[in-house]
């Protein structure tokens, strides 16, 4: 039995299927057989994946090369009974780990969301009786009944349909409900076109149906997507890659210098223990202890700033990843578009009318050549809109300020267009109450309603449906206000014109009915209709998306559409939004590929195709995933947007997954790194800007903090080589690194975004954090700190200043040079003297706080005991301030020479 449940069920007849799965098409499964199959197949739920426990996640916070060095230094220092130094070193490591653990996003919930999504009830036939059961109890072979409002409980092959429509947008990306059929389809038919199938988790919007369950739990399409989500690799972001690479390089340099320090000291006859402590001091000084915490906190600040711009970050590294994004792969339905079918054009009385307004909100008007039209002055137009309003089973209502459709979205669009024209639905329905209905069926391709005019006593029939079908039923048409000969060619040309622009077109017609008949009779609508007009609708683009896409182009970001919708609709929307421009094509050129065509390409060819094409239509979930992987193979940093279950695997695989907060399914939200609370593609532009700003500020922090670490290491190394007492101790180095990082360096996180940030090209994913000029600046400031700290230490020792006081002076040199250098680092593109001094008030507040804390370090007896510091004289303060001011102006001179060099290179 189990081996049978892996077939092209859409390709075999329902009788063959019933034989294969051993079920009765009238009575369903027996109770005994149900029990047997429940034991064989298990419950109808998607399996949960095992999550990493909190203890393991906390331990992994220590899994960093530089942390290993600090831990080793702390434990050896503890073994040597340097209690205070050991406690301070280990405390710094633990605090960093706690910060990382708290800020790390919670364990993934995507699989659990899938389980919740499909937990519902279902109506089944078992042992000849209709019964309602929890969906988890369904087994393969069950005979399930569906009706409007039901959530499909498992994958099913439909055996009976009666006007059955199912919303599969969350699974396939199809923007309108799918009309189901019980015909056979070829084996290669893609999932979105298998109209004789119903899939787990989709929603029945209209009609009734019955089917045989062919897959449950993990074997369903939803379950398969669950596996794709769990198998997608969590990629390292550009920032984490760079920090990791930087940490490894720094680790090797630190270990080499520490070994050199130890070897030189021992060679000179110094105590091995003292030289080991000196090596620890060098290692502690060279390691930027504040960097992990600072990166985490700066990213968290970026998260808060993005939340203010309606972008919620679920995973901290996503803040920075946005800033380096090179390609945005966007779903169409609900992301670039409103996900609300909207009538935009009408053709009636020989004229084309435009309908303004978008979505289900009944605000807009009918216009002709940009001039408003009064429908009460055009009987044919009014009749066409009335036909769409009455030949309809959908309702529009307002819920929490949001307009919604109850029923089929296509029918809902006809209701909205009528209301926009000024027609009053209640008044019309009271004047023309419905007497009888012929519901829409796919075989029939039309719907008809019979109405009794309370004013005239006439009976009138309104019909809507497929254009070709209604043309075969019409004998005449309304033209210039009169009933005229039917011009089928004109109507078909207009239909094709609308369809070529990605629109769905419905035809409307009418006829008068015998006055004494209140019911339809068989075959009486085979002819005799009068054609009223066409209504052309589309799921329209969001109005702000086009400008957002152009902003992405200016920022060097390509935008691609990856959708499950039809190719004509996707291409039409892409043209309206100007997607081609982001790839360098003209506005009319839209390189488009369908899911069926993608199957024909090898993995190598797909990589090139993903680079060149703009629109990918009718694609399956695994194809979305492959397209993201193909772009990543070209070293693109890929952002993927989406709102459906079908988007979740690609959201998780992408460098940053962007889910819709309003219309998005729980699965897509949990798979994403970021949620848009307004479902607005334009918000991504704001998020990219913030991401670039965060990376700028992180770079400023690194350029600011590294000179201190390098300077501290050089001071230790120089002292060992010169054979003098260490000017600073390990515990003092930790004081410098932690306090300055928190009170000074973190203030750089609040720097406003620089002008022109969205006109730069994206950073290359393999580009280093530090440029050649930044490295030169870091070396310069490191040398200035070395000269200032070591020079003042030696000078003061030579004039009889005590060791602890001289060390306190050396520590203060590092602190106050860092304070001055902070204002050199507030921008890496604008010279210091051209910066607005007060644009970041927190930098000033932090500097004042650092000054106060340093006074406490110098003059508090308690701090003197812990950190081996001592009060210093007024003359020492003057020396420290002079060194700091000189360093500040030397950096300004460096900026001037740097800018001259850049200008010269640009001119050359």
Which is the catalytic residue, given 150, 155, 167, 331? 331
- The DSSP-derived string for 182-227 is -----TT--GGG-TTEE-TT-EEEEEEEEEEEEE-GGGSHHHHHHH
CA-only gyration radius of the chain, Å: 36
Measure CA of the first residue to CA of the last residue in the chain; give whole Å: 76
Rounded to whole angstroms, the Cα distance separating 294 from 697 reads: 11
Instruction: Give the C-alpha distances (Å, rounded to integers) separating 614 from 56, 238, 567, 579, 761.
Output: 43, 25, 12, 7, 19
Q: Which of 413, 433, 442, 572 is nearest to 501 (CA)?
A: 572
Rounded to whole angstroms, the Cα distance separating 29 from 141 reads: 7
Q: Report the Cα 278 to chain-centroid distance in Å.
A: 49
Q: Which helix (H) or strand (E) holds 532?
A: strand 529-538
Q: Which of 703, 694, 704, 682 is nearest to 757 (CA)?
A: 694
Rounded to whole angstroms, the Cα distance separating 754 from 827 reads: 8
Rounded to whole angstroms, the Cα distance separating 482 from 347 reads: 15
Strands (E) across 597-636 are located at 615-617
The sign of the dihedral angle between the CA atoms of 205, 208, 214, 218 is positive
Has 331 been annotated as catalytic? yes
Counting other chains too, the contacts that 771-780 makes at CB distance below 8 Å and 24 or more residues apart are 773/898, 774/699, 774/703, 774/828, 776/894, 776/898, 777/703, 777/891, 777/894, 777/898, 778/703, 778/706, 778/707, 778/710, 779/710, 780/707, 780/890, 780/891, 780/894
One-letter-per-residue 3-state SS of 844-887: HHHHHHHHHHHHHHHHCHHHHHHHCCCCCCHHHHHHHHHHHHHH
200 within 8 A of 222, measured Cβ to Cβ: yes
Q: Which of 335, 444, 214, 626 is nearest to 638 (CA)?
A: 626
Strands 327-330 and 311-313: unpaired
Q: Report the Cα 315 to chain-centroid distance in Å.
A: 11
Q: Is 3 exposed, middle or buried (0-12, 13-18, 19+ CB in 10 A)?
A: exposed
The residue length of the chain stands at 908
The sign of the dihedral angle between the CA atoms of 542, 544, 549, 552 is negative
Contacts of residue 219, Cβ cutoff 8 Å, sequence gap at least 6: 5, 6, 155
CA atoms within 13 A on the CB side of 615: 29
Q: Report the Cα 13 to chain-centroid distance in Å.
A: 41
* 3-state SS class at 649: helix
As annotated, the active-site residues are: 331
């Amino acid at each position: 039995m189990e081996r049978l449940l892996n077939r092209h069920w859409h390709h075999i007849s329902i009788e063959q299927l019933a034989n294969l799965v051993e079920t009765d098409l009238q009575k369903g499964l027996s109770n005994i057989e149900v029990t047997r199959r429940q034991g064989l197949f298990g419950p109808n739920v998607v399996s949960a994946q095992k999550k990493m426990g909190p203890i393991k996640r906390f331990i992994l916070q220590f899994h960093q090369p530089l942390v290993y060095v600090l831990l080793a230094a702390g434990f050896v220092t503890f073994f040597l009974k340097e209690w205070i130094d050991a406690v301070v070193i280990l405390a710094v490591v633990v605090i960093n780990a706690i910060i990382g653990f708290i800020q790390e996003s919670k364990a993934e919930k995507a699989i659990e969301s899938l389980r919740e999504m499909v937990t519902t009830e279902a109506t089944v036939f078992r042992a000849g009786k209709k019964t309602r059961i929890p969906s988890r109890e369904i087994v393969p072979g069950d005979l399930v009944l569906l009706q409007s409002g039901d959530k499909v409980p498992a994958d099913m092959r439909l055996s009976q349909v009666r006007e059955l429509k199912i919303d599969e947008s969350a699974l396939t990306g199809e923007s309108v409900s799918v009309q189901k059929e019980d015909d056979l389809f070829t084996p290669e038919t893609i999932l979105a076109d298998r109209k004789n199938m119903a899939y787990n988790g989709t929603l029945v919007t209209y009609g009734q149906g019955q089917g045989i369950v062919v897959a449950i739990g993990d074997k369903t399409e939803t379950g398969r997507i669950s596996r794709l989500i769990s198998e997608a690799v969590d990629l390292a972001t550009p920032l984490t890659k760079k920090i990791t690479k930087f940490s490894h390089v720094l680790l090797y340099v630190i270990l080499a210098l520490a070994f050199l320090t130890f070897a030189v000291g021992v060679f000179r006859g110094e105590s091995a223990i003292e030289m080991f402590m000196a090596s620890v001091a060098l290692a502690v000084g060279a390691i930027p202890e504040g960097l992990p915490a600072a990166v985490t906190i700066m990213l968290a600040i970026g998260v808060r700033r993005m939340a203010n711009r309606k972008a919620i970050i679920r995973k901290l590294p996503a803040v920075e990843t946005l800033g380096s994004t090179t390609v945005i792969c966007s779903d169409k339905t609900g992301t670039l578009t409103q996900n609300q079918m909207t009538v935009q054009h009408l053709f009636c009385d020989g004229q084309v009318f435009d309908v303004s307004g978008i979505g289900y909100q009944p605000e807009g008007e009918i216009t002709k050549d940009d001039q408003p039209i009064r429908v009460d002055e055009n009987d044919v137009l009014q009749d066409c809109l009335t036909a769409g309003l009455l030949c309809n089973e959908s309702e529009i209502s307002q819920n929490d300020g949001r307009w919604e459709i109850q029923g089929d979205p296509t029918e809902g669009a006809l209701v909205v267009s009528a209301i926009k024209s000024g027609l009053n639905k209640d008044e019309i329905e009271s004047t023309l109450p419905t007497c009888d209905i012929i519901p829409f069926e796919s075989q029939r391709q039309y719907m008809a309603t019979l109405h009794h005019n309370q004013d005239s006593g006439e009976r009138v029939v309104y019909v809507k449906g497929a254009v070709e079908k209604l043309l075969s039923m019409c004998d005449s048409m309304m033209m210039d206000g009169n009933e005229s000969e039917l011009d089928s060619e004109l109507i078909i040309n207009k239909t094709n014109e609308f369809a070529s622009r990605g629109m769905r077109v419905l035809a409307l017609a009418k006829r008068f009915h015998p006055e004494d008949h209140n019911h339809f009779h068989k075959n009486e609508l085979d002819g005799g209709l009068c054609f009223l007009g066409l209504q052309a609708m589309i799921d329209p683009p969001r109005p702000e998306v086009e400008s957002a896409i152009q902003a992405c182009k200016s920022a060097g970001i390509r935008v691609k559409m990856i959708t499950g919708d039809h190719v004509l609709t996707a291409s039409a929307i892409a043209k309206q939004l100007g997607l081609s421009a982001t790839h360098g094509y003209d506005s009319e050129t839209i390189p488009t590929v369908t899911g069926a065509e993608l199957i024909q390409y090898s993995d190598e060819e797909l990589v090139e195709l993903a680079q060149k094409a703009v629109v990918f239509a009718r694609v399956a979930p695994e194809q979305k995933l492959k397209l993201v992987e193909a772009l990543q193979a070209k070293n693109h940093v890929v952002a993927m947007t989406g709102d459906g279950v079908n988007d979740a695997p690609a959201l998780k695989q992408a460098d940053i997954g962007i889910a819709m907060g309003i219309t998005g399914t729980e699965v897509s939200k949990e798979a994403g790194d970021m949620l848009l609370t307004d479902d607005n593609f334009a918000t991504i532009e704001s998020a990219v800007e913030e991401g670039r700003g965060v990376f700028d500020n992180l770079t400023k922090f690194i350029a600011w903090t590294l000179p201190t670490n390098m300077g501290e290491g050089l001071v230790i190394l120089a002292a060992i080589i010169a054979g003098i007492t260490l000017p600073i101790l390990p515990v003092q180095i930790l004081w410098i690194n932690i306090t300055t990082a928190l009170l000074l360096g973190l203030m750089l996180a609040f720097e406003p975004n620089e002008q022109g940030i969205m006109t730069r090209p994206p950073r290359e994913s393999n580009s280093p954090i530090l440029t050649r000029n930044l490295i030169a600046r870091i070396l310069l400031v490191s040398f200035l700190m070395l000269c200032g700290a070591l020079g003042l230490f030696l000078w003061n020792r030579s004039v009889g200043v005590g060791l602890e006081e001289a060390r306190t002076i050396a520590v203060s040199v590092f602190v106050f040079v860092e304070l001055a250098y902070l204002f050199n680092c507030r921008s890496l593109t604008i010279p210091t003297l051209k910066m607005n001094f007060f644009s970041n008030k927190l930098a000033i507040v932090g500097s004042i706080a650092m000054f106060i804390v340093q006074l406490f370090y110098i003059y508090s007896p308690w701090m003197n005991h812990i950190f081996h510091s001592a009060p210093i004289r007024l003359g020492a303060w003057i020396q420290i301030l002079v060194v700091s001011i000189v360093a500040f102006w030397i950096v300004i001179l460096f900026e001037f020479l740097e800018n001259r060099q850049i200008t010269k290179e640009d001119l050359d």
